[in-house]
Each structure stands twice: as structure tokens, then as C-alpha cells.
Structure 1
């Protein structure tokens, strides 16, 4: 059975999509079967996976509305994983879903038939705690939270943790925090170091040891429709995401053995 992980943070610009695409590619490079679900109307994970979002039909919108099965919408991505694409049409889902039965469970229901096909299913969430994110949190077993080490990121983190706790209470008892990932990290910043220490104190082992640095190659790779490994395998961004994939796999191996 697959591990379903939502990559979520309602604050934009913290590296959610970069994390989703490159973690998917890193896990695929480690021999795992991976599916990426792009649940963000911006469709950046779709573009970063080498898929033209302008012609991405059927996509995740059709899957959520029941117009297409997930097996009809998934396609091969450049990073060695499968992806269900999104584009601006997904914005309509915020209205359409409210008119449908089981509106909060549409993604979970759609994933059920393919869960055995993958070791990991990663869901790139939009930068909002809306119905799309709720669908992701109900479908997922855990949440990976990328965040920058800055003051406002800490403020928003408490709202996300409250939402996760609420979803776990009323709809998905298995939901938990997979881990917190420090992204776009600049070790020269005193504030970044201070916030990093606060995260370590609060989250302990749930804070990933791997730190994703600010890296120009990470920012450039999506415009070429490639994960960073295929764009520049020797850059620090590549090293960081390979390390993150390895750390996640070791955690899960350890948990399974316990």
C-alpha cells in the first residue's frame, strides 16, 4: 500500500512545488514507484514535471469531478514518476466541489483504485487552506511542511497545524505531521538560524535533518521541465534533495521495523 503525503503550507513561496517535484524524482531515482498529484491551479508542478499544462486534459479537475478516472489522467513525467496534471481550470473546482456529494473526499475516493500501484503518492497543495487542501489532507496519511526560516512563516505554521488537527479529529484519524522541512535556507542569516533552532526545539525528530538551501539551479530547473537532478546533478540543490529522499526512506524503514 502506498504512503500518501500532502506537501502543504498555506504560505506561498516556501518551496512546496520545488519540494514535491524533486522529492518525487529523488524517490523515483531510489527505485520507488511514485505518483505526483498537482492540486495547485497554478500548475507549476505540472510544468516542472515536463508536462504542458495548457493541454493537460483530462487532469486533476476531471478526476475530482468524476469526469475521468485517475488512470486516464496520469501520465509519465520527466523525473521518472507519474503525474496527474493541473492548470488554471482547477480554480473552478473551488466552486464545483461544493455542489458535489462527498466533496471533501473526492481525491481520496479517486486514489483508492491506484493506491497499490505506487510506493509513494505526493500531493502538491495550493497556498491556501481551501477545499482543495482539505481534499489532500483527507486523502493523505501524513503532511510534509516546507517552510522558510523567517518570522511570518512561524505565524502561519500554527494555523496549518490547527487545520491538520481538526481534519484528524473529524475525518482522517491517521493524519499526522510527516515532518517539517527547512527550505530556501540561508545560513548567513541570523534570523534563519534562530528560527531553525526554534523549530528544532518544538518539532524534535519530526524536523528533517536535511536542509534545502537557496540555490539558483533549483530555481532554474522548472523552466526546463526537469527535476534538478536532470538539470544539474552536481549542484547543491541536487545533493540536498537526494539526501532528503534518503532520509525519508530511512525513517520509513525504521518505522516499519519498529
Structure 2
């Protein structure tokens, strides 16, 4: 039975759709079968992936169409149920039903065995469809910018999660986005976030103009600029979330490349490779088509394409 990850935050403009696109693309590159659900009437997922859908979530929730009949193929292993402005009227129709908070969950039930992961992109307010998205989730991922108002908004979000689901046990991770290492405020607020929420807070997604550019081109960051820091950060998020939801190892494994020193598999130390900053042994992970070398001590990171440079 596939995991259902709802990506949510009551604040807009904090990188939810960017996170959904590149997290899902990373899962698909690992070999997982992934379905994206867009519950935002702006329909940004289709644009971000360069997809022109024939049918949308409205057909499923209001007209009763089978979900698999409304799927658009976005990439290998990656399907999409798109949204558009018709969802604005769908909420009025759904609100009349006695099971209004579980309509999406019921629509997903027949297809959960078809996919390893279902990711739901939600809008920036607590609409009826966002309540549905939270109700359907087995796991909740919260992107947030590292700003005072955004951190305050997390407290409000967690209160709503308790109200809708009864507790916050489905909360799987908080992902700091648009993180700028050059500003003291970002660094200090990230420390505050980690002190408050502990290991729920994953490594941040750094500010990278390539992430905005790839969306405008209808490409994932791995397609647009696989050597950018945005690609590295999201590849690392894919690995961290795969571990948290127990998604399993990547299949097929990355093609081997020549290396000056022998490497061990998994996240064990790299033989004879040391951090250029602190001299400690480097660790290794293979994720979303990348080989990542990193230092647990000083946070040094280096990425390589596992199959050589892309054309």
C-alpha cells in the first residue's frame, strides 16, 4: 500500500510546489512509482512539469470519474492528477456531502496499491480541499522559509493538524526552504527551528535561482541543471525522506563510474577519502541519480552524477 505524503503549509510562497515537483521526480528516478495530486486551483504542478492534461481532479471529485482514467503521464514512473480553476467550484459541490472531509481519501483508496508514493500539493490556506489532503495523508511534510512570520505560522499549522487528524503523529518532516547562508537571520532562525522541533527538521534547501528557472521551463531541477546546488539539496531530501517513510533502496542501482579510490556501498565511509575542510572521513550516499560525498562533522558536501555528465 503506497504512502500518501501531503506537502502543506498555511503560508504561500514558501516552495511547496517546487518541493513536490523535485521530491517526486527524485523518487521516480530511484525507481519508485509516483503519483502527484494537485489540490490547488492555480494548477501549478502541470505547468512546472510541462504537462497539458486532458482531465483534472475536478472530474474525479465532482463528476465521479475513476482516478486512473484522469492520470497524465509526466515522466517515467511519475503520473499526475492535475488541477485547474474548476476546483474553485468543486469545493461548493463537495461541501454538500456528509463525507466532505474524506472525499479525496476515498478517491485514492482504489489506486494506492498502484503506486509506491502519492504526493499531494496543497494550497496556501486551510480550504476544504486542503482539509481533504491532510485527512488522506499517512505522512505530512512541511516546507517553511526561515523567517520570523513563517516560523510563527508553523504553530498555527500544527494546531490545525491536531484538529483535523486528532494528533500530529503523521508529521514526518519540516524542510527549511529558500535558505540563505549569507544572512545572519537565516542562520539564527534555522538554529531556533532545530532547537524547537529537533530531528523533524531536515537539511535546508538553499536559495538557488535555478529552481525558479526550471519551473518556468517545465523541467525538474535534475533535468534543467543537475549540477546546481538546488539539485544537490533536493537529491539529499529525496534520500532523507526515503529513509523516513521506509521507501527502500533505489532500483535500478546507479551505473558505476571510475573513481580514484575504492568506494563502499550505502552510507559507509569512503575508503581513503577525507574531508578537505576538517580531514575527517567522508560519507557516501547514492540518491536520485547522484553520488554524494559528505562530512558529518563540518557539513562539507560534494555531488557527482552517478552515470557521468548529462547532455
Same fold (TM over 0.5): yes
**Aligned residue number for residue 68 of structure 1:** 65
- Given the alignment, which residue of 133, 147, 151 partners 1:136? 133
SS in 1 for 2:86: helix
Please tell me whether residue 189 in structure 1 is matched to residue 183 in structure 2.
yes
- Given the alignment, which residue of 135, 160, 163 partners 1:163? 160
**Aligned residue number for residue 100 of structure 1:** 97
* Contact kept in structure 2, 1:65 and 1:106, CA below 8 Å: no
* Contact kept in structure 2, 1:141 and 1:175, CA below 8 Å: no
Please tell me whether residue 154 in structure 1 is matched to residue 151 in structure 2.
yes
- Given the alignment, which residue of 54, 59, 84 partners 2:56? 59
CA shift digits 1:105-139 (9 cap, x unpaired): 11000000000011110000011111011000111
Between the two proteins, the alignment pairs up a number of residues equal to 248
- My pick for the range that moved more, 69-78 or 178-187, is 69-78
Displacement of 1:191 in angstroms is 1.4
Q: Which has the larger radius of gyration?
A: 2
Separation in 1, partners of 2:247, 2:2: 16
* Contact kept in structure 1, 2:172 and 2:244, CA below 8 Å: no
Please tell me whether residue 220 in structure 1 is matched to residue 226 in structure 2.
no
Separation in 2, partners of 1:114, 1:254: 18
SS in 2 for 1:9: coil
* Contact kept in structure 2, 1:78 and 1:227, CA below 8 Å: no
The verdict on how the C-alpha distance between 1:162 and 1:50 changes in structure 2, with shifts beyond 3 A counting, is: same
* Contact kept in structure 2, 1:149 and 1:185, CA below 8 Å: yes
**Aligned residue number for residue 205 of structure 1:** 199
* Contact kept in structure 2, 1:78 and 1:226, CA below 8 Å: no
Please tell me whether residue 91 in structure 1 is matched to residue 85 in structure 2.
no
CA RMSD of aligned residues (A): 1.7
Displacement of 1:226 in angstroms is 1.1
Separation in 2, partners of 1:191, 1:214: 14
Separation in 2, partners of 1:45, 1:214: 20
Displacement of 1:87 in angstroms is 1.0
- What is the correspondence of 1:210-249 to structure 2 with a 5 Å cutoff? 210-249=203-242
- My pick for the range that moved more, 113-122 or 244-253, is 244-253
Displacement of 1:66 in angstroms is 4.0
Separation in 2, partners of 1:64, 1:128: 20
**Aligned residue number for residue 32 of structure 2:** 32
- My pick for the range that moved more, 29-38 or 89-98, is 89-98
Listed as ranges, the gaps of 5+ residues in structure 1 are none
- My pick for the range that moved more, 11-20 or 233-242, is 233-242
Displacement of 1:57 in angstroms is 3.8
Separation in 2, partners of 1:253, 1:152: 33
Separation in 2, partners of 1:164, 1:175: 9
Displacement of 1:93 in angstroms is 2.0
Q: Work out which structure has the larger RCO, using CA pairs closer than 8 Å and 6 or more positions apart in sequence.
A: 1
Displacement of 1:94 in angstroms is 2.3
* Contact kept in structure 1, 2:15 and 2:177, CA below 8 Å: yes
